[in-house]
Amino acid sequence: MTHWTPALVEERLAEAALILRRLPDPRRRGYFSTWPEIVHSFADKVCQEPKQMRVLPSPQAISRMEETLTWTGCLDPIDGKIVWMKAHGERWKEICYAVGLQRAAAHQHWAYGLSVIALTLNRQPVNRQLSKRKLIRLARGA
C-alpha cells in the first residue's frame, strides 16, 4: 500500500492529464468518408511539417487515469478546477484569470487541494475546521 504525499498526487494527476490528451478524438457513429485516401508525392511533402505521432496509452495507464479522475470529488469546485488546470500544465497567470484569485491565494488552494486528496487516499480524517496552512503542513509532515 502506497503512502500518498501531495507530490505523488501531483505526479499522478499530471500523468492522468497527459493520458487524456493522448486518447484518440471521439468519432460520431454512422459517418464515414467514401473518398479514397490521398497519397502525397515527394514534392508535396517537401515543405510540410511532419505529422505528430500519436502513441495510444496502455490499458493500465487508462485504468490509473480513470481512478485519478474521481479524486477531485472531495474538493471544493474552485480547488478542483485549480488542481486540474495545474495538472494540465496551465501557467499560473491563466489559472488566476480563470478563477479570479491572486497568485498566492491560487497556489494555496492548489496545495490545499493536493493535501486533501493525499489525506483522503491515506484514509486519514480531513478536519475542515483547520486552516488551509495547517492542513497543508499536516499532509506534508504525515
**CA-angle at 109, arms to 107 and 112, nearest 5°:** 110
> What is the percentage of the chain residues whose pLDDT exceeds 70?
99
Torsion, Cα of 82, 85, 88, 90 (10° steps): -110
Q: How many other C-beta atoms lie within 10 A of the C-beta of residue 57?
A: 17
Is residue 114 over pLDDT 70?
yes
Which tens digits make up the pLDDT trace of 2-58? 789 999 999 999 999 999 988 877 777 777 778 888 888 887 778 778 777 777 888
- Sequence-ordered strand ranges (E) for the chain: none
Which distant-in-sequence residues (6+ apart) come within 8 Å of 120 by Cβ? 71, 74, 126
What is the Cα–Cα distance from 99 to 50, expressed in whole angstroms?
37
Domain boundaries, the chain: 6-22+58-141
pTM: 0.79
